[in-house]
Chains A and B, each alone.
Chain A
Amino acid sequence: MMSPNDYQGIRSRRQFFRNCAGGIGTIALAQLLGLEGRAAEPQGPLAPKAPHFKPRAKNVIFLFMEGAPSQMDLFDPKPELKRWHGKPLPESRTKDLKLAFIKPTASVLGSTFEFQKRGQCGMELSELLPHLGTCADDICLVRSMHSEAFNHHPGQLFLFTGHMVAGRPTMGAWVTYGLGSESQNLPGFVVLSSGVGTSAGSDNFTSGFLPSTYAGTPFRSQGDPILYLSNPKGVSKDVQRMRLDLIREMNQDHQAATGDMEIASRIHSYELGYRLQAAGPELLDFSKESPATLEAYGVNQEATKAFGTNCLLARRMVERGVRFVMLMHASWDHHSGIVSGLKKTTGATDQPSAALLKDLKQRGMLEDTIVVWGGEFGRTPMSEMRRPDDPNSIGRDHHPNGFSMWMAGGGIKGGQVIGETDDLGLEITKDRVHVHDLQATLLHCLGLDHKRLTYRHLGRDFRLTDVGGEVVTKLLV
Chain B
Amino acid sequence: MQSARAFLFALGMCSLSGFGQTSPEFSSQVQPILKKRCEACHGPAQQLSGLRLDQRDAAMAGGYSGPVIVPGKSAESKIIQRVTGAPGVMVMPPSGPKLTAEEIATLKGWIDSGAKWNSRAPVGTQSQAKSRHSHWAFQPIVEPQPPSVSQSSWVRNPVDAFVLSKLEREKIAPAEEADKRTLLRRVSFDLIGLPPTPEEIRAFLNDKNPDAYERAVDRLLSSPHFGERMARPWLDRARYADSDGYEKDWVRPFAWRYRQWVIDAFNRDMPFDRFTIAQVAGDLIPDASATTLIATGFHRNTLTNREGGIDNKQFEFENAVDRTNTVAATWMGLTAGCAQCHDHKYDPFSQKDYYQLFAFFENLEEKDIDAPLPGELGPYLKTRDEYRAKRQALLVEYKVPEMQPEWERQMLEASANPGKRTDWDLAWDCLLKLTEFGDGEKIMRIPLNQRSERERDILTDHFVRNYHFAVGQKVYKEAKFDQLDKKLRELRQTYPQLTRAMTVGDPEQAQPSFLRVRGDYRTNGIPVARNTPSVLPELKAQSKGANRLDLAKWLVSEENPLTARVTVNWIWQEFFGRGLVKTSDDFGTRGDKPSHPELLDWLSYRFVHDGWSVKQLVRTMVTSATYRQSSKIRPELQSKDPDNALLARQSRLRLPAELIRDAALHAGGLLTLEVGGPSVKPPQPSGVASLAYGSKGDDSWVESKGSDRYRRGLYIHFQRATPYPLLMNFDAPKSVVAQCRRERSNTALQALNLMNDPVFVEAATALAYRSILETNDPAARVNAMFEHAIGRSSTPVETKRFLQSIDRLRSTYEADAESARQMAPAELPGIPRADAAAWVNAATVLLNLDEFITRE
Say whether B691 contacts A193, CB under 8 Å. Answer: yes
What does the 1/0 interface line of A341-357 toward B look like (CB < 8 Å)? Answer: 00000000000000000
The answer to whether A232 touches B422, judged by C-beta atoms less than 8 angstroms apart, is no
**Do B418 and A103 have beta carbons less than 8 Å apart?**
yes
Contact with B423, one of A33, A99, A386, A458 (Cβ below 8 angstroms): A386
For residue B586, which residue of chain A has the nearest CB? A459
Chain B residues near A259 (CB-CB < 8 A):
632-635
Residues of B within 8 A of A460 (CB): 335, 337-338
A213 to B743 CA separation, bound complex (whole angstroms): 10
Interface status of B156 (Cβ within 8 A of chain A): no
Instruction: Indicate if the CB atoms of B692 and A197 lie closer than 8 Å.
Output: yes
Contact assessment for B850 and A242 in the assembled complex, using a CB-CB cutoff below 8 Å:
no
> Which residues between 194 and 251 of chain A lie within 8 Å of chain B, taking CB atoms?
196-203, 206, 208, 211-213, 215, 217-218, 220-224, 226-236, 238-240, 242-243, 246-247, 249-251
Per the bound structure, the CA–CA distance linking A90 and B659 in Å amounts to 62
Nearest-CB residue, chain A, relative to B469: A386
Pick from A222, A263, A459: contact of B585, CB under 8 Å:
A459
In the complex, how many angstroms separate the beta carbon of B727 from the nearest chain A beta carbon? Answer: 10
Contacts A229-B756, A459-B347 given; indicate if A165 touches B823 (C-beta within 8 A): no
**1/0 contact string of B604-645 vs chain A (CB within 8 Å):** 000000000000000000000000000111110011001110
- B841 contacts the other chain (CB 8 A): yes
Structural contact, A273 and B643, CB atoms closer than 8 A = no
A275 to B643, CA, bound (A): 32
Assembly CA distance A161 to B256 (angstroms): 30
Q: With an 8 A cutoff between CB atoms, is A415 at the interface?
A: no
- Contact at B721–A36, with CB atoms within 8 Å? no
Note all chain B residues with C-beta closer than 8 A to A105.
419
Q: Are A330 and B850 in contact (CB-based, < 8 A)?
A: no
A/B pair count, beta carbons within 8 Å: 300
User: Shortest beta-carbon distance, A469 to chain B, in Å?
Assistant: 15
In-complex Cβ contact of A269 among B644, B734, B750, B823 (8 A): B750
List residues 677-736 of chain B with CB under 8 A from any CB of chain A: 685-688, 690-695, 720-723, 725, 728-729, 731, 734, 736
* A167 contacts across to B, CB distance below 8 A: 734, 736-737
A265: Cβ under 8 A from any B Cβ: yes
> Which of the candidate stretches A72-80, A149-157, A422-430 sits at the interface with the other chain?
A149-157
In Å, the complex CA distance between A199 and B318 comes to: 19
Measured between alpha carbons, how far is A257 from B841 in the docked complex, in Å? 25
Q: Which residues of A contact B822 (CB under 8 A)?
A: 232-234
Q: Mark A14-53, 1 if CB is under 8 A from B, else 0.
A: 0000000000000000110111111110001100000000
Give bound CA distance, A176 to B322, whole Å: 28
Q: Does B246 contact A (CB under 8 A)?
A: yes
B766, CB-defined interface residue at 8 Å: no
**8 Å CB interface, A323-381 against B:** 330-331
Q: Does A277 contact B (CB under 8 A)?
A: yes
Minimum C-beta distance from A414 to chain B (A): 32
Among B322, B691, B695, B731, the most chain A Cβ lie within 10 Å of the Cβ of B691
**In the complex, what residues of A have CB within 8 A of residue B761's CB?**
232
B238: interface (CB < 8 Å): no
A398, CB-defined interface residue at 8 Å? yes
- In the bound complex, CA of A35 to CA of B637 (Å): 10
A226 to B688, CA, bound (A): 11
Q: Would you call B642 and A33 a contact (CB within 8 A)?
A: yes
Once the chains bind, are A218 and B652 in contact (CB under 8 Å)? no
Q: Which of A35, A166, A224, A388 contacts B638 (CB 8 A)?
A: A35
> Smallest Cβ distance from A311 to chain B, in angstroms?
19
The interface residues of chain A lying within 8 Å CB-to-CB of B751 are 269-270, 272-274
B812 contact set on A, CB distance < 8 A: 236, 238-239, 242
Q: Is A101 an interface residue (CB 8 A)?
A: yes
Per the bound structure, the CA–CA distance linking A243 and B752 in Å amounts to 13
Q: Does A100 contact B (CB under 8 A)?
A: yes
Q: Is the CB of B691 within 8 A of A202?
A: yes
Distance in Å: Cβ of A456 to nearest Cβ of chain B: 8
Q: Is B151 an interface residue when CB atoms closer than 8 A count as contact?
A: no
CA distance A38 to B653 in the complex (A): 12
Residue of A187, A211, A234, A238 with most partner-chain B CB within 10 A:
A234
Complex CA gap A466/B136 in Å reads 30
Chain B residues near A263 (CB-CB < 8 A): 850
Is B816 in the interface zone, CB < 8 Å from A?
Answer: yes
- CB neighbours (8 Å) of A288 from chain B are none
Q: At the interface, yes or no: B196 with Cβ under 8 Å from chain A? A: no
Least Cβ–Cβ distance between A32 and chain B, in angstroms? 9
Return the chain B residue nearest A330 by Cβ: B693
**Provided the pairs A197-B693, A234-B819, A459-B585 are in contact, do residues A266 and B746 lie with their beta carbons within 8 angstroms?**
yes
B252 CB within 8 Å of chain A: no
- Report whether B753 and A228 are in contact in the complex, using a CB–CB cutoff of 8 Å: yes
Cβ-defined contact, B745 with A459, below 8 A: no
Q: Is A212 within 8 A of B743, CB to CB?
A: yes
Q: B821 an interface residue at 8 Å Cβ cutoff? A: yes
Task: Determine the distance from Cα of A325 to Cα of B66 in the docked complex, in whole angstroms.
Answer: 48
Is B212 on the interface with A (CB-CB < 8 A)?
Answer: no
What is the CA–CA distance of A360 and B114 in the complex, to the nearest angstrom? 67
Q: Is the CB of A234 within 8 A of B821?
A: yes
Interface residues of B in 506-543 (CB under 8 A from A): none
Most buried by A among B429, B756, B808, B819: B756
Contacting pair A199 B693 (CB below 8 A) = yes
Contact (Cβ within 8 A) B310 A151: yes
Interface centre among B429, B635, B845 (most CB of A within 10 A): B845
How many Å lie between the Cα of A228 and that of B686 in the bound state?
11
Is B844 an interface position by the 8 A CB rule?
yes
B429 CB contact (under 8 Å) in A101, A193, A200, A208: A101
Expressed in whole angstroms, the minimum distance between the Cβ of A416 and any Cβ of chain B is 27
CB of B663 within 8 Å of the partner chain: no
A150 touches B422 (CB 8 A): no
- Bound form: Cα–Cα A263–B590 in Å: 32
Residues of B within 8 A of A459 (CB): 335, 338, 346-347, 583, 585-586, 588, 590-591
State whether B691 touches A198 (Cβ < 8 A).
yes
- Is residue B303 contacting chain A, with contact meaning CB distance below 8 A? yes
Do the beta carbons of A101 and B308 come within 8 Å of each other? yes
CA–CA, A206 and B309, complex, Å: 25
CA distance A255 to B851 in the complex (A): 10
Select one of B634, B729, B820, B849 contacting A234, CB under 8 A. B820
Contact B819 A272 (CB under 8 A): no
A152–B248 Cα gap in the complex (Å)?
11
> Which residues in B have their C-beta under 8 angstroms from that of A202?
691-692, 721-723, 728
Output the least CB separation between B482 and chain A (Å). 17
Contact A229 B752 (CB under 8 A): yes
Q: Are A38 and B642 in contact (CB under 8 A)?
A: no
Q: B residues within 8 A CB of A250?
A: 798, 801, 845, 849, 851
Tell me the complex Cα distance, A201–B685, Å: 17
Which A residues are in CB contact (< 8 Å) with B347?
459
Q: A200 contacts which chain B residues (CB < 8 A)?
A: 247, 692-693, 721
| Interface: B292 (CB within 8 A) | no
Bound complex: CA A270 to CA B749 (Å): 9
Report the separation of the CA atoms of residues A232 and B837 in the bound assembly, to the nearest whole angstrom: 12
Q: Which residue of A lies closest to B721 (CB)?
A: A201
**Which of chain A's residues have a CB closer than 8 A to the CB of B591?**
459
- Interface residues, chain B, CB within 8 Å of chain A? 245-247, 249, 303, 305, 307-310, 318, 321-322, 325, 329, 335, 337-338, 341, 346-347, 418-419, 421-423, 425-426, 429, 472, 577-578, 582-583, 585-586, 588, 590-592, 631-635, 638-639, 642-644, 651-652, 685-688, 690-695, 720-723, 725, 728-729, 731, 734, 736-737, 743-753, 755-758, 761, 798, 801-802, 805, 808-809, 812, 816, 818-824, 837, 841-842, 844-845, 848-851, 856
- Extra A-B contacts (4), CB below 8 Å, given A234-B818, A246-B805: A187-B748, A211-B745, A251-B849, A258-B652
> Which 9 residue pairs across A and B have the least CB separation, nearest first?
A100-B309, A459-B335, A103-B419, A201-B692, A234-B822, A201-B721, A234-B823, A34-B638, A259-B633
Q: List 12 A-B contacts (CB under 8 A).
A: A34-B638, A37-B578, A152-B247, A165-B318, A166-B245, A228-B749, A234-B823, A262-B746, A330-B693, A387-B472, A390-B472, A458-B585
